[in-house]
Amino acid sequence: MAERNVDIEERHVEKRMDSSMVMSTFIKYAAYIILFFGALYFLVRFVFPMF
């Protein structure tokens, strides 16, 4: 049997993550959550007792 010489191409994919982008996204969604719970607190504390 004849031996076959096959070159195998290897690819290494590195996932790059920009830490400043991740942090700004985290701050944005944390602000959304704080605003949501602030509005919920306002409704429970001041609006619902009126009914």
Note the pLDDT of residue 1: 62
> Torsion angle of alpha carbons 41, 42, 43, 48, nearest 10°?
100
Residue 41, CA atoms < 13 Å, CB-side half-sphere: 6
- Backbone φ and ψ for 18, nearest 5 degrees, come out as -85, 115
> Torsion angle of alpha carbons 26, 29, 33, 38, nearest 10°?
100
**Tens of pLDDT, residues 1-51:** 666 777 888 888 777 778 889 999 999 999 999 999 999 999 999 998 988
Structural domain boundaries of the chain?
24-50
